[in-house]
Chains A and B, each alone.
Chain A
C-alpha cells in the first residue's frame, strides 16, 4: 500500500464550535492505481487532497505514505491545480525545472529531465514559451510535467480539467491516461464529473456530503480505452450518478463562504 488513510478526521474551528469537514475516512491506495474521488460540492474532497499533499493538517487519525506519516508538503506528492498555478514569469522549461532547482540538481541533468517530461506531455518545441502564451490545455500539460519532473510517489490532481472547454477536456483525459500508462504513477484525482471518473478511474470513491466520509467505493474493471457509448460504461455511469444524486439532495442547503473549499 502506498497510501494509507485511517480514521481521518478534519475539523475547522468556527466562531461557535467546530465545523467537521471530513470524518471516519478510511482508504488504502495501491501503487500504480488510478483513484477518483467523487462527491457533491462541499463534501471535503479538495480538503482531503490538500491533506494528502500536506497543505492542510489532520485533526486526528493516521495518514501514511509508504508507511511513513505525512507531515508537510513535499515534492514526493506532486500536485496539479485546477487554476494551473504556473509561475507566469518562468518559461515552460523553467516551470518544469522549478522543483529540480530546489533540489539543487545540476543544470545539465535538469535540462535533460525537463526536456523528457516536456516531450512526454506533448509540448516539445514550446520550452521557451511563457504561460500567458499558452492555451488552457497546454498550461495544464505544463502543470503535469512540472509535478512529474520530481518523480513523485503520488500524483494529486484537483479537478485539473475543470477550467477547460469540453473538447479540450476530453482530449486531456486521453492524454492523461497515456502519460499515466507510461509513467505508472499512482494518481488520486478529484472531480465532480461522473463521466470523467468513469472514463479514467480504476476505483471511484464516492463521498457523502459534509461531514464527508466514504459512501461507496466502486471498482471499475472496464478495459481501457473506454468507450463512452458502450453499455457497460452507461450502466456504470447510471449507477454512480444515482448514488451521487441521493447525496446531493440530502446535502445541507445553508453554507457559509469559508467552507467553499471543502
Chain B
C-alpha cells in the first residue's frame, strides 16, 4: 500500500510538471504572437534555433553550442576546483583553531559582500581573459563553501569529541577522524549552493571577454548581431546547465549523507 501510494504521488508530480511546462509554453506563444516584436520570438523559433546551434557552427563565433558549453564548463570546473582547494583547508582550520578564525574572519567578511560580478573588470585587466572567468567562479563558489565547512566543524557534537578522546584520540586524530568526516555533508551543501552561483558568475565574466567562446559570451554576441532566437537559445542552455549541475550536486549530497549514515 505504501509503495503504491509513493509511486502514485510521484506520477502525479511528473504529470503536474508537464502540465505547468505546457501552460508556460502556450502563454509564451500567445504573448509573442500578440506583441509581435522581433526580440521576442515564439517558442518554435527558439527551439529550432536551440537545436540548430548544436549542429551548425555559429557564423559569428565559428563554433557550435557544444563547443561553447565545453569552454564555459572548463572554466566552471577550474574555478570550482580552485575554490575547493582553498576553501576546504581554510574552513577546517578556521573552525578548529580560534585564532585562525579571528585572523581570517575580518578579511573574509569584508570581501564576501562584493558580488562576484563586480570583480570581473578587475580580474580581466589584472589576470587576463583566461583567468578572469575562472577567478570569478572561484570568488562566487569560495564563500558558500567556506561558510559551510566552518559551520560543519563548529557543529560537531561535543560528545563525539569526548568519545574520541576516551578512545585515545589526540588533537590531530580528532581533526582527521572526527571533525573532517563530520564536516563532509556540510561541505556538500556548500557545493550545491556554489553550483548555482558559479553559473551566474560564468555568464557575467564572459561578457567582458572570452577566448574560445562560452555560453555567456554566445548570448552577448547574439544580442550584438541581432539574432534573438539564438540569444534565447543560449539562455535556455544556461538554464539547463544550471539546473543539471544543481540537481546532480543535490543528489550527490543526498547519497553521501545516506552512505555516511548521517543527518
Contact = CB atoms under 8 A, between A and B. Distances in A.
Interface in B140-160: 157, 159-160
Contact of A89 (B163, B173, B261): B261
B61 interface: no
B261 A73 contact: no
A102 interface: yes
Given A89-B181, A89-B182, A102 B169 contact: yes
Interface in A144-170: 146-147, 150, 156
Given A79-B162, A87-B181, A102-B173, A130 B261 contact: yes
Contacts of A131: 261
Given A87-B160, A89-B261, A132-B261, A55 B167 contact: no
Q: Is the interface of A mostly helix, strand, loop or mixed?
A: loop
Given A99-B168, A102-B173, A88 B162 contact: no
B155 to A, nearest CB: 13
Interface in B29-52: none
B77 interface: no
A130 B262 CA distance: 9
- Which interface class (under 10, 10 to 19, 20 to 34, 35 or more) fits A? 20 to 34
Q: Is the interface of B mostly helix, strand, loop or mixed?
A: helix
Interface residues of B, number: 21
A102 B167 contact: yes
A16 to B, nearest CB: 26
Given A83-B159, A85-B159, A53 B166 contact: yes
A87 B173 CA distance: 14
8 contacts: A55-B165, A75-B167, A77-B166, A79-B163, A81-B159, A85-B163, A87-B163, A103-B168
Given A81-B163, A85-B160, 20 more contacts: A53-B162, A54-B165, A54-B166, A55-B166, A72-B165, A74-B168, A77-B166, A78-B166, A78-B167, A79-B162, A85-B157, A85-B159, A87-B164, A89-B260, A91-B261, A98-B177, A102-B169, A102-B173, A146-B167, A147-B166
Closest 7 CB pairs of A and B: A130-B261, A75-B168, A89-B260, A99-B167, A85-B163, A73-B165, A79-B166
